[in-house]
Amino acid sequence: MAPDMVTVIDLVLLALLCAAAVALILVRQLFAVAILAGAFSMLSAGLLVTLDAVDVAFTEAAVGAGVSTVLLLGTLALTQRRSEESRRRGTGPALLAVVLTGGALVYATTDMPGFGDPEAPGFRHVVPEYIVGSETDIGVPNIVTSVLASYRGYDTLGEVAVIFTAGIGVLLLLGRRREDEIQDEARRSGSGDEG
Amino acid sequence: MPEAITEHYNYWLVIFLLMAGLFVTITSGNLVKKIVGLNVFQTAVFLFYISLAKLEGGTAPILTGEPERFSNPLPHVLILTAIVVGVATTALGLALVVRIRETYGSIEEAGLQEADRQDELRAAAEQGR
């Protein structure tokens, strides 16, 4: 049986993702790390489209590949461009831990329902209700939107709380810096007067 | 191909990506690269969830008026939320990196340990005086 087109695209994208991940391990230039991370996000967005998750794909492309890359590049501009690690420590134990964890995960997948299996428990519980209800109860054709904003609206409210907290955290971390700098400068000019 | 491979290859490749992210996070001495490793791990988890939601012969869960088989919209919603939360935590992590760089003058694990050691030596010397 010849594999269908979607499977081929799926495999090609997964292979490119694996290549990007391996390149990420090997590269030391932090600029290249940031761009590879952006490429990784963009490729995963492509893969999400083939997996029917179009809403997730454009969020990943905009937020994962866009905003994250900008944040990384901004951090590099404020810190340094090159990783100075001359040699990696603990590569052996790390490799062992990674292989053991991966092996355990692969072993666990053998108990899982197959990829695309319509008999999987995930398709049988509340999901049929959501698919019917999206039209009759909510009246929104995009089922993801009706679950996000209505059936699971409290989850989205919780997400807003998390983003707010993270925003406050960033402001406290980076906003305080300016006050410290001003105080430092004041102290420096004060001691300069005494000297 | 044996059924076990055709049924699970997607999960296995995603697990490889997960482990690549974990490896970068463990072995990299650079804090920015550690955060990128965490991001790779996180994106792989997203792909795993969306793989679970895929239905053979299904389409994107948007009603068009025709009877169709839809992939599971619930994991899509969860991951939509997780992507945005992920960026918020990345921003917080990177802000911490910028602060660490200002205080320690380095974003390498070795540099940070060296700075701590210097601090301890200086404190000990001042106590001895």
**Domains defined along chain B, listed by start:** 3-128 (1.10.287.3510)
Task: Indicate yes or no: pTM above 0.95.
Answer: no
Is B18 in contact with B41 (CB distance < 8 Å)? yes
The b-or-e profile of A141-172 (16+ CB within 10 A means b, else e) is ebbbbbbbebbbeeebeebeeebeebeebbee
Cα–Cα distance measured from residue A33 to residue A49, given in angstroms and rounded to the nearest whole number: 25
Tell me the mean pLDDT in the region B102-129. 86
Q: Is the pLDDT score of B68 beyond 90? A: no
What is the reported pLDDT for B110? 84
Q: Which residue has the higher pLDDT, B43 or B7?
A: B43
Question: Inter-axis angle of helices A153-194 and B73-104, to 10 degrees?
Answer: 10
Tokens of A25: 């391990």
Q: Is the pLDDT score of B112 beyond 70? A: yes
Could B88 and A152 be called an inter-chain contact, meaning their C-beta atoms sit closer than 8 Å? no
Label residue B32 exposed, middle or buried (CB < 10 Å: 0-12, 13-18, 19+): buried
Q: Which of A66, A70, A83, A168 is nearest to B92 (CA)?
A: A168
Model confidence band, residue A99 (pLDDT cutoffs 50, 70, 90):
very high
**How distant is the Cα of A67 from the closest Cα of chain B, in angstroms?**
8
The domain limits of chain A are 1-84
Chain B residues touching A118 at Cβ < 8 A: 55-56, 69
Model confidence band, residue B16 (pLDDT cutoffs 50, 70, 90):
very high
Quick check: B111 contacting A, CB < 8 Å? yes
Quick check: B105 contacting A, CB < 8 Å? no
C-alpha distances in angstroms, A75 versus A33, A69, A142? 12, 10, 37
Q: Is the pLDDT score of A91 beyond 50? A: yes
Which of A84-93, B11-20, B83-92 is predicted least confidently? A84-93
Chain A residues touching B87 at Cβ < 8 A: 63-64, 67-68, 71
Chain B residues touching A85 at Cβ < 8 A: 28-30, 108, 110
What is the reported pLDDT for B19? 94
Quick check: B48 contacting A, CB < 8 Å? no
Label residue A9 exposed, middle or buried (CB < 10 Å: 0-12, 13-18, 19+): middle
Backbone region of residue A25 per phi and psi (left: phi > 0; alpha: psi in -120 to 50; beta: other values): alpha
Which of A17-31, A93-107, A126-140 is predicted least confidently? A126-140
Average pLDDT along chain A: 84
Between positions 22 and 41 of A, the ones with CB within 8 A of B are 22, 24-25, 30, 33-34, 37, 40-41
Chain A residues touching B61 at Cβ < 8 A: 52, 131, 142-144
What is the reported pLDDT for A178? 62
User: For B35-68, what is the HEC assignment?
Assistant: HHHHHHHHHHHHHHHHHHHCECCCECCECCCCCC
Would the CA dihedral through A17, B79, A74, B103 be positive or negative?
negative
Is B78 in contact with A147 (CB distance < 8 Å)? no
Q: Is the pLDDT score of A63 beyond 80? A: yes
pLDDT in tens, A8-33: 888 899 999 999 999 998 888 889 99
Between positions 157 and 186 of A, the ones with CB within 8 A of B are 159, 162-163, 165-167, 169-170, 173-174, 177
Quick check: A13 contacting B, CB < 8 Å? no
Model confidence band, residue A195 (pLDDT cutoffs 50, 70, 90):
very low
Cα–Cα distance measured from residue A49 to residue A55, given in angstroms and rounded to the nearest whole number: 9
Could you identify the residue written with the tokens 């939601």?
Answer: B53
Alpha helices in A135-152 (DSSP H): 143-146
Model confidence band, residue A194 (pLDDT cutoffs 50, 70, 90):
very low
Q: Which residue has the higher pLDDT, B69 or B36?
A: B36
Assembly ipTM:
0.88
Could you identify the residue written with the tokens 């340094």?
Answer: A80
Model confidence band, residue A40 (pLDDT cutoffs 50, 70, 90):
very high
Residue in chain A lying closest to B12 (CA): A106
Tokens of A170: 């960033």
Chain A residues touching B88 at Cβ < 8 A: 162-163, 165-167
